[in-house]
Amino acid sequence: MKHFWVVALAILCLTACNQHDSELGRATAVQTAETDSVAHAITPVPDCRITTPEFLPTKQPIADASLSDYLQNLRQAVKTLDENKLQQLLDPNIKTSFGGDGGWSSFSAQWHPEQDSAEIWILLERLLRLGGDYPLKNNADLYALPYVYSNWPDSLDAFAHAAVTGTGAILKQEPSETAASICVLGQVTLRVNAEKSYPQQQTAEKEWWYAQTLDGSLSGYLNHTQVHSPIGYRAILNKNKQGQWLMTALVSGD
């Protein structure tokens, strides 16, 4: 009888050990798969290898103290979503398109600055963040935001090109955040194709731009937050005869 219990106990131990080894093997396999998945997910996207020159924002400080003060006041109005302060910074006859009468009534009807969630606050914040420059080098009373408009080279067709405006812009194979990444672009100019961009309806605003590097080596999609067109929205600032800076136009197109 004793021999029977010894044999039975040995069989039970062997079974338990085999079960433990099996579970340990499964756990190790799951852990390995999870590790591989995480490693794959955090694989860095390589930089794009292209021969296109950079197109960078203006770094030269603004010499005109009155312009610096104006831009600071505009930033404050945008930060605090202050409709009244914004109105004071706009020319009474501000242009909002290349047709129509303009003025505060047209501006307000188009942009609804009385609403904290209005797109005007997002747009102005972006233009201010990008920074601007004097579009006419011999006219210190004219300033424009963003630099993509004010500094755009005449050698590039403004209707067929755009600029990468920040670091870390990832070129995608398809117009989706989850699409495969091709590489990370620097701040360069690109050819853009509106017909291949998304959405493909006839609209100036795109969620994803189809872009090609100037050297023709790469093409793919860029999110609209990473690029800006020279004919996209720009703010035109003028210094009047009284030495006061005002925004005289906020327009897009040509």
Q: What is the 3-state secondary structure (H, E, C) of 34-103?
A: HHHHHHHHCCCCCECCCCCCECCCCCCCCCCHHHHHHHHHHHHHHHHCCHHHHHHCEEEEEECCCCCCCC
What does the pLDDT look like over 93-135, one tens digit per residue?
Answer: 999 998 877 999 999 999 999 999 999 999 999 999 999 999 9
Average pLDDT over residues 154-159: 96
Residue 53 inside a domain? The answer is no
Residue 27 has pLDDT above 70, yes or no: no
Q: Which domain holds residue 39?
A: 1-43
Asked if 238 and 169 sit in the same domain, the reply is yes
Q: For the chain, what is the mean pLDDT?
A: 86
Residue 55 inside a domain? The answer is no
Residue 139 inside a domain? The answer is yes
Asked if 98 and 27 sit in the same domain, the reply is no
Number of domains in the chain: 2
What does the pLDDT look like over 48-90, one tens digit per residue?
Answer: 999 999 999 988 889 999 999 999 999 999 999 999 999 999 9
Average pLDDT over residues 208-224: 96
CA–CA separation, 182 and 170 (whole Å): 7
Percent of the chain with pLDDT over 70: 82
Residue 49 inside a domain? The answer is no
CA distances from 231 to 130, 135, 139, 228, 250 (A): 15, 13, 21, 8, 12
Residue 60 inside a domain? The answer is no
Per-residue model confidence (pLDDT) at position 254? 79
Measured on CA atoms in the order 56, 254, 198, 116, is the torsion positive or negative? positive
Asked if 12 and 112 sit in the same domain, the reply is no
pTM greater than the 0.85 cutoff: no
Q: Which two tokens stand for residue 95?
A: 């242009």
Per-residue model confidence (pLDDT) at position 17? 40
Cα–Cα nearest to 192, from 214, 168, 170: 214
Cα–Cα nearest to 227, from 157, 174, 181, 171: 171
Residue 158 has pLDDT above 70, yes or no: yes
Sheet containing 142-145: which strands, arranged edge to edge?
Answer: 90-95, 245-251, 234-239, 142-145
Residue 178 has pLDDT above 90, yes or no: yes
Residue 51 inside a domain? The answer is no
Average pLDDT over residues 164-182: 96
Q: How many Cα atoms are found within 13 Å in the side-chain-facing hemisphere of 79?
A: 8
Average pLDDT over residues 206-227: 96
